Amino acid sequence: MSTENRSGCPIASALDLLGDRWTLVVLRDLLTGKRIYKEFLESPEGISTNILADRLRRLEECGLVERVLYCDRPARYRYAPTRKGADLLPTLQALCRWSNRYDGETWTPPTDFMRDTPSQRLQKLRRQAQPG
């Protein structure tokens, strides 16, 4: 990814980071509580390890994702969306409404995913992440 925007257009600039088939799928997983590689790899789209690694790295570089070391040997990381990442929730919700309207084969997301504000979603993820 270039750090230069193609133009000052906010749509084109967002797509410089998000405009591919996978980045928003990874963000969907982060916003539904997936945190470790194994969990992302289990999603039905079948993302490959190298695409997953690349997208998580770019999302971290751009401040949409935080990475936390949770195991030293071997080094393992847990990922979580930042506020900047969670603020893409309205974009994901809008895409869901569009697909559900025009593509009858798509599933309806859980009600709370569709209704949550970014803050509500982040609070839920943080509660889940706390050791029981």
10/132 with CB nearer a second copy: 10
User: What does the alpha-carbon distance between residue 38 and residue 119 come to, in Å, rounded to a whole number?
Assistant: 26
Instruction: State in angstroms the smallest separation of the CB of 76 from a second copy.
Output: 26
Q: Which of 131, 110, 102, 128 is nearest to 28 (CA)?
A: 110
Instruction: State in angstroms the smallest separation of the CB of 119 from a second copy.
Output: 14
Residues of this chain that bind a second copy (CB under 8 A): 5-16, 18-22, 24-25, 28, 43-46, 63, 84, 87-88, 90-103, 105-109
Instruction: State in angstroms the smallest separation of the CB of 26 from a second copy.
Output: 10
Q: What is the 3-class SS of 103-120, one letter each residue?
A: CCCCCCCCHHHHHCCHHH
